[in-house]
Amino acid sequence: MKVIRFVCFLIPLLTLALLALNCGSGSGRQLQSINITQTVNGEQITFVATGTFSSAPTTVTPLPVMWGLMLYAPPPGNLDYTLTTQPYVFNCATMGAEIGPVSAIAPSDPSAPASGSWPFSQMTLTYANFNCP
């Protein structure tokens, strides 16, 4: 009888422990910020994104981002995106010198797919101003 009571006590306890471990098994790692570095080579400016995350590895270069030459107004829902690890290359000779800032945007969740639709409110966004030589 004592064994049955012990098993009846142990099973719910083990179940709760497994549920707690399962709920905490996700890393919770989130993209916190994006930094854009730029390198000037003649009339070309090359931009590379580096991401800072909440847990290891804390920095990732190149960070997969969607590049743009615009300011983003928050859409009411999702943003369609395609990420790339390729640097963004701006050619001042062919594109002109009076273009807005370069933007880099990526889902805050590093397990998000490389392309698709994601809530804008769950994206990380940054801008970099630049001047053509």
For residue 100, what pLDDT is reported? 77
DSSP assignment of 44-100, as one string? EEEEEEEEEESSSS-EESSPPBEEESSPPPPPSSEEEEE-B-SPEEEEHHHH-S---
**pLDDT tens-place string over residues 37-87:** 999 999 999 999 999 999 999 999 999 999 998 877 777 889 999 999 999
Instruction: Say if residue 30's pLDDT is above 70.
Output: yes
pLDDT on residue 21 = 32
pLDDT for the residue 97: 67
Q: Assess whether the previous peptide bond of 62 is cis (omega < 30° from 0).
A: yes
Helices and strands, number each (H, E), in the chain: 2, 9
What's the pLDDT score for residue 25?
39
Q: pTM of the entire structure?
A: 0.77
In the chain, where the domains are located: 31-128
Cβ-count burial of 118 within 10 angstroms (0-12 exposed, 13-18 middle, 19+ buried)?
A: buried
Question: Which of the two residues, 8 and 49, has the higher pLDDT score?
Answer: 49
pLDDT digits (tens, 9 = 90+) for 86-109: 999 999 988 876 677 999 999 999
Q: Does residue 133 surpass a pLDDT of 90?
A: no
Res. 15: pLDDT tops 80: no
Which pair of structure tokens corresponds to residue 88? Answer: 């963004």
Q: Which residue has the higher pLDDT, 74 or 122?
A: 122
